[in-house]
Structure 1
Amino acid sequence: MTGLDLDALTAIDVHAHVEVDGHGHLSLPDTFVEASAAYFAADHRAPTLGETAAYYRERRMAAVVFTVDAESATGHRAISNDEIADAAAEHPDVLIPFASVDPAKGRTGARIFRSLVDRGMRGIKFHPSVQGFAPNDRSAYPLLEVAEELGVPALFHTGQTGIGAGLPGGGGIRLGLSNPMLLDDVAVDFPDLTIIMAHPSFPWQDEALAVATHKPKVYIDLSGWSPKYFPPQLVRYANSLLQDKVLFGSDYPLITPDRWLADFARLEIKDHVRPKVLKGNAVRALGLDRKEKP
């Protein structure tokens, strides 16, 4: 179904950001970029999609890549989904493209998303706090209806975010919109939709574990934190009840796979669980093992 050689891959990173387009346009307003860099004490250069592909190819990994369309909430033009789709078509051995469509676009957005899946997009990314919607307020439901119908996953940011941190009023970012418990309603309303909750969900880790344990098609990606900072209950569940539902994600380029994997190697994870986290669970969650329809 893709150009991926699954057997040759050492890992699949399900969380890599596209922060700049081919013309130098950034994915977020400058104030958010600067505040986020200060919050994480990070000073990284946003890689192009071609550079991202080369980075993962060198490591024999694949990466889910996406941007965030939050134009209605921020007034900032989003990076083009078409550009991401084009880059993934040029680098099908390493890039797995996800679309981002502002939920405020309603049914028009749903039609756009459908056409993007036809172009090769393998899922859809949401950031409720930045996009300014609650996952269960139904504004994103037209998009989720398409995702469920076409069998592609929806990836939701959960927990705190560094975007807007330190700005007056947090730059208008509402943290509560990314409480993972809101996704419990989504999982009920879309029982056949694969949902991936991004990040250890500080300060709502227990809520995320509860939803992922209770709802069979809800997964957790482990991006955005070094594994050495994972809450103990997350590690415990990853080793047991959720060993088939936790996914390697880095948050590239903010956190690199090199750093994440080095710290993961020192985490007390059972030997038979490690390959599931690094690749096996993602293959299933992303539908990468499904064959093309004739």
Structure 2
Amino acid sequence: MTLFPQESRDALSMLALLFRHRKLLTIVGLVSLVASFCVTMMIQPKYLAFGIIFPTNSNTRNELLSNPQFGYEIDADRMMQLLESEYIRNTIIDKHQLIEYYDIDTLALDWKLRLDKQFVKDITFFRSKYMSIVISANMHSPQKAAAIVNDIIDLVDKFQEKVLRENMTGEYEFQHTLYVQKKATVDSLLERIYAIKKPTGPEDLLSNYFIMASQQNVPKEAYDYVNSTELENLINTYRYQRARLQALTDANESARIALERPIPKNYVIDRAKPYYKKSYPSYTLNCLIGTLGSLLLVILVLLFRRKWQSLQTEVREEAGAHRVA
């Protein structure tokens, strides 16, 4: 005695149905296989190319030399944002004429949306578990796919430098403006001091005064240089502003050196090479899907037909029973 008699009967009935129509299923399977193969041959093939890069863990050469490591998760995430930026996308679209490649009608209102969808479908960026970035392109030409990947590898370095340079240039201009303003203030104070106490020779009397005043056993002549309250106030202000000028000079010089220093490039592990093995379409996958899909459709039609015939038989039997009654 079986636990599921109804299920067993249904399974046997299904097997009987398949065996009864085995010739039909065989013919459909063979025809579908040949048709799938022919259709796959007519599809324009695509070829995959990919490259691998690692971000740096710093944007300054000093830190990179002292700690030469690949970037961490946050560095990889930042690199992904740069790669997925509109600047990278538009530059590649223009350079490789992808509007013509995808045959996009620019007169349509949604042409940019359709172009971007095709771009993100064929050109992808993937962050691996090792924090590397895999850049891949799937195009109809293996040379074009490799060229796009390599251009993106080069372009992301330039784009990253462009973004960093913009911020560094702004910082340098800000520091330089403060330096120029402070230098003008110091020069103005110096002119006012010498307007009150004119030098009697070519030597810098004010500098000599600062040197002598900082020493012990200073001659009385050093203090005689400051002989008025106004001059004393100006000199004190000058000394303070000159110290501030020195700090701004150092900051301005640091910003200038940072601006002139080269930006470290990303680590390129693999550049793309043309691969002539088709990535799309797959004969095996297409034939398998086409054949199984056709067989499934035929089986569903046979099941529906059997169910319909069963219902018709039941209706006729009920009608005959009513007439007899």
TM category (shorter chain) comes to under 0.3
- Specify which structure has the bigger relative contact order, considering alpha-carbon pairs within 8 angstroms and separated by 6 or more residues: 2
Structure with larger Rg = 2
TM-score if structure 1 supplies the norm length?
0.20
Give the structure with the larger helix fraction. Answer: 2
TM-score if structure 2 supplies the norm length?
0.19
